[in-house]
A and B are shown apart, each in its own frame.
Chain A
Amino acid sequence: MPTQSEKKKWEKGDKEYGTSNVGAPFHLFTFSLFRVSHALIVLLFLAWLPAFAEPRFPPPDFTETNHQIPTTTTPSARAEWLQYLDVAVLGAGLVVALWCIYKQRSRRGLFWLGIFSLAYFGFWRKGCVCAIGAPQNVILGLFDANYTVPLSVIAFFALPLIVALFAGRAFCAGVCPHGALQDLLLIKPVKVPAWLEHALGVLPFIFLGFGLSFAATGTGFPICRYDPIVPIFRLSGPGLLISLAILTLVLSLFVGRPYCRFLCPYGALLKLASLASKWRVRVTPDVCTQCQLCENSCPFGAMREPSAGNVEPKQLTSERRRFGWLLVLVPLLIAGGAWIGSALAVPVSKMNPTIELAERYINQQKSPANYGPMTPEALSLQRAEHDSEALLKSATDLRHRFWLSCVIFGGWVGLVLGVKLASLSLRTKRTDFEPDRGACFGCARCFRSCPQELVRIGRMPAGDLPQSPVAAAAKT
C-alpha cells in the first residue's frame, strides 16, 4: 500500500510512470517482459498479488467537505415481461394473418399487418427477437448443456412452424418484418426465369445447414451475423452489411422478396412445413372457371399452371427412368458432399475464435509475428500464453466437433441438390391454377385477379363473369 508521501510524490507529476519508481507490480504489464519464461511471470504475479488485494491509492473520506461519493448508475435491461409481450404480439399477428388470408381474403389487411410488424419487430425491437435466427439458438441449446434457450425464443421458433404445418406460411405473409419490408418495397415485379428460380431456391436450405452446423459447434450465429435486412432496422452496422442491405432493398423493388425466396433459412423450414399443411390458399373463393386471369398475378413465382392433359406413355416412361436415376444419384451426392465437407473441415474451423487463436498461438511459437502493443491480436496471444494447455485442448475438442458438423453439412448440401434435381422430374396433376404450397407466402395478391372473387366482394356483377376458354371450347 503506497504511503501518503509516496502518493504525493506520484501526484507531483512522475513523468515516467510505469517504468521507474511506481513499484514492481507495473512491470508485469510492460511489453519487454511478454516473452520471458512462464516461471518468471508466475513469480512476478505472486509478488504482485498482495498489492492487488488493496487499492494503490486509498479512497479519501472527504472530512473537510463531507462530499457524497456518487454511485455507479445501472440502467436496467429490458423488463422481463416484455419478452412475453413479444410472444403475445407474434401469436396475435399470426392469428390476424390467418384471418386476413383465409377469412377476409384481404390484401389490405395483410398490408397493414405488415406495416405493424415492420414497426414493432423491425424498427422498435430492432430485428432481435426474430424467428429467422431462432433455429440456431435451438440447436445450440441441444448441443451445449451450458446454454439455455429462453422460452420466448422457443416460442418464436415453434409458433410459425406449427401454423405452417396447418395453414401455410402465414408468418411470412405479414408477421415477419423482413418479409414485410421487402413486400412493401415491391413496385415493379420482374419474373425470375424458372431455371434461376430453381437454382437459387436451394440456397435457403444450404444457408440453413450452414447456420445450424456453425451454431451447433458454438462458433456463433451466422444467420444473424450475415442478415442483410437487420442493419436497416438498426440504421447502423458494419459497412459490408450496410451495402448488402442497400443491395437487397434495391433488388426487392424489382424482384419480389429476394431474401425470403433465395436466402431466408427459416423460410426454408416453413416451406417444408407448409408442404405438409392441412389447409392451403386457393386463388378462387369457390369454383375455378379456368379463365387464366390469375396467371401472372403472383410476383413471387409461386403460381403453378394446370398440368397439360394426358402425357404420352413413352415420355412418361423415360421421365420415370430419369427420376429413378436421379434417386440413385442422391446417395452419391450425399457421400460426395460429406467427403468435400471433411476435406474443408480444417480450413473452415478457423472461423471459430478459439481454434483461430490456438492456430495463431502455434504459429507464433514457430515464427513470431509482430503485433503492435495493446492490439487485440497481441492481447489474445498473451491470454493464449497464459493458459496454452487448456486452449489447445479445447481447440482440439472443437476441431473434432467441427469435423463432424462439416461432414453433416456437406452431406446435407448433397441431399438438398439431389432432392431438388429429382423433384424437377416429378409431375403433379393439377386442374386449376394454384399457388404452390411451399412457395406461397400467402400475400393475398392473387385473390383480386379472380373474377369469382370480384363477384364475391361485389366489385363485379355475376353476369359479367368471363367465359372460360375450356367451357367455350366445349361449346363449339
Chain B
Amino acid sequence: MSDKPKSESSTRRTFLRNGARVAAMTGLGALGGVLVNRSQAESWVWQIDPQKCLRCGNCATKCVLEQSAVKCVHAFAMCGYCNLCTGYFEPEPNALSTAAENQLCPTGAIKRTFVEDPYYEYKIDEKLCIGCAKCVEGCNRFGNGSLFLQIRHDRCVHCNECAIARTCPGDAFRRVPAKQPYLLKTTHAH
C-alpha cells in the first residue's frame, strides 16, 4: 500500500484515527493513573459481619452456587457445650437425643458428641450445611452465640458483585482483605 500515492481522504482518515488513538491513550493513561494511585495491590473478598447478620436465611438461597458458599461455623471457645443446645434442638424437642425430628438443622449437618457430663460438643459438617442460619438464630437468641455464618473461601467463587450481599437485609456483607478473609467471633471481651 505504501508505494501507492495516498488519496486526500485516506490521509485525513489516518490523521483522525491517529488523533483519536492518542486521545484515547491519554484518557486511559489518566484514568489508570488516578485509579492506580488509589488502588492497593491486595485483593478483596466478600465476608459476612456476624455482628450485623440477622439470620434471615437468604444465604442458603441467593448464592450463585448450587450449594451456597456460606456455611455455619462454630467458635468452639465461646460455646457453652450445653446439653440443651438451642442451636441444635427444635424449640420443643421430644427428647434431647440426636433423633432427626428433634434437630433444628434441616440437613442434619450438626454433629453432637458427648464430651463429659453434662457437656456436648457440636461440630458442623460443611458438606451438609446449606447456610440457612436456623441454628445460628437458635444459638444467638438463647445461647452464647457461638454459631455464626461465614463465607467459606474454599467454596466462594468471588463474584464481582456478591448475589447474597445485594439482598442482605442486615447489610452485613462487605469486602475484606484477602489476607484476613474471615470476620470470626471470638471469646467474650472480659
Residues of A contacting B58 with CB < 8 Å?
Answer: 376
Given contacts A56-B144, A80-B43, A273-B24, contact A375 B80 (CB under 8 A): no
- With A55-B80, A62-B116 given, is the CB distance from A72 to B75 under 8 Å? yes
B39 at the interface (CB under 8 A from A): yes
Question: Which single member of B32, B167, B171 contacts A383 (CB below 8 Å)?
Answer: B171
Which 5 residue pairs of A and B lie closest in terms of their CB atoms, listed nearest first? A57-B80, A380-B169, A75-B154, A276-B20, A221-B161
Q: Can you name the residue of chain A whose Cβ is closest to the Cβ of B40? A: A148
Does the CB pair A224–B188 fall under 8 Å?
Answer: no
Docked-complex contact B178 and A374, CB < 8 angstroms = no
User: Which residues on B sit within 8 Å (CB–CB) of A162?
Assistant: 25, 28
B159 touches A224 (CB 8 A): yes
Complex interface: chain A residues within 8 A of B142 (CB):
17-18, 22, 26, 56
- Does B76 lie within 8 Å of A71, measured CB to CB? yes
B residues 136-190 near A (Cβ < 8 Å) are: 137, 141-144, 152-154, 156-161, 163, 166-171, 178-179, 181-182, 184, 187-190
**Residue numbers in A under 8 Å from B154 (CB-CB):** 75-76
B112 at the interface (CB under 8 A from A): no
**Is the C-beta of A176 less than 8 angstroms from some C-beta in chain B?**
no
Cβ < 8 Å to B, chain A residues 121-157 = 126, 128, 130, 133, 136-138, 141-142, 145, 148-152, 154
Closest to A152 in B: B43
Distance, CA A429 to CA B7, complexed state (A): 10
A57 to B156, CA, bound (A): 33
Contact A18 B141 (CB under 8 A): yes
Chain B residue contacts of A154, Cβ below 8 A: 32, 35-36, 39
Nearest-neighbor residue (CB-CB) of A222 within chain B:
B161
Interface status of A188 (Cβ within 8 A of chain B): no
Interface residue A193 (Cβ < 8 Å from any Cβ of B): no
Q: What residues of B have a CB within 8 angstroms of the CB of A158 in the complex? A: 28, 32
A53 touching B43 in the complex, CB below 8 Å, given contacts A62-B115, A74-B184, A158-B28: no
For the residues of B in contact with A, the DSSP-based class is loop
Task: Tell me whether B21 and A276 are in contact (CB under 8 A).
Answer: yes
Q: Are A220 and B188 in contact (CB under 8 A)?
A: no
Q: Which residue of A lies closest to B7 (CB)?
A: A429
Q: Do A11 and B161 contact each other (CB < 8 Å), given the known contacts A77-B153, A165-B21?
A: no
Are A59 and B80 interface neighbours, CB within 8 A? yes
A374 touching B38 in the complex, CB below 8 Å, given contacts A22-B142, A83-B43 = no
Q: Are B169 and A377 in contact (CB under 8 A)?
A: yes
Which of these, B39, B44, B153, B163, contacts A76 with CB under 8 Å? B153
Residues from chain A with Cβ under 8 Å of B20 in the complex: 275-276
A-B contact list, 29 entries, CB within 8 Å? A10-B82, A13-B84, A13-B96, A53-B189, A54-B188, A60-B81, A60-B116, A64-B116, A67-B119, A70-B76, A70-B123, A72-B76, A72-B184, A74-B181, A75-B152, A76-B153, A128-B160, A136-B160, A141-B35, A142-B34, A149-B38, A150-B42, A151-B36, A151-B39, A221-B160, A231-B64, A234-B65, A380-B54, A429-B7
- Please determine whether A128 and B44 come into contact, CB atoms closer than 8 angstroms: no
* B38-A69 in contact (CB<8A): no
Cα of A152 to Cα of B160 in the assembled complex, Å:
13
Question: In the complex, what distance in Å separates the CA atom of A131 from the CA atom of B91?
Answer: 49
List B residues 43-84 near A (Cβ within 8 Å): 43-45, 54-58, 64-66, 73-84
Residues of A within 8 A of B38 (CB): 141, 145, 148-149
Q: How far is the CA of A4 from the CA of B80 in the complex (A)?
A: 12
Q: How many residues of B contact A (CB 8 A)?
A: 84
Tell me if B28 and A161 are in contact (CB < 8 A).
yes
B188 x A53 contact (CB < 8 A): yes
Binary contact readout A261-272 vs B (1 if CB under 8 angstroms, 0 otherwise)? 000000000000
Q: If A141-B38, A150-B43 touch, does A67 touch B116 (CB 8 Å cutoff)?
A: yes
Q: Which of A97-105, A235-243, A328-336 lies at the interface with chain B? A: A235-243
B7 surroundings in chain A (CB, below 8 A): 429
Contacts of B17 in A (CB 8 A): 275-278
- Which B residues lie at the A interface, using CB under 8 A? 7, 9, 17-18, 20-21, 24-25, 28, 31-32, 34-36, 38-45, 54-58, 64-66, 73-84, 86, 91-93, 96, 115-119, 121, 123, 137, 141-144, 152-154, 156-161, 163, 166-171, 178-179, 181-182, 184, 187-190
Residues of B within 8 A of A69 (CB): 76-77
Tell me the chain A residues, 373-424 only, with Cβ under 8 Å from chain B: 374-377, 379-380, 382-383
Tell whether A15 is near chain B: CB-to-CB under 8 Å.
yes
Q: How far is the CA of A130 from the CA of B157 in the complex (A)?
A: 13
Closest to B25 in A: A165
Q: Which one of B41, B137, B182 lies within 8 Å of A151 (CB-CB)? A: B41
Contact yes or no, A58 B80, CB < 8 A: yes
B181 in complex: contacting residue of A77, A236, A276, A374, CB < 8 Å: A77
The complex places the Cα of A259 from the Cα of B34 at a distance, in Å, of 31
Residues of chain A with a CB closer than 8 A to B54's CB: 376, 379-380, 382-383
Look across to chain A and name the residue whose beta carbon is closest to the beta carbon of B161: A221
Set of chain A residues within 8 Å of B184, measured between Cβ atoms: 72, 74
- Most B-side CB within 10 Å, residue of A14, A53, A150, A237: A150
| B residues less than 8 Å from A195 (CB atoms) | none
- Beyond contacts A75-B154, A237-B64, A276-B17: 6 other A-B pairs, Cβ-Cβ < 8 A, are A60-B119, A73-B73, A77-B178, A80-B42, A128-B157, A162-B25
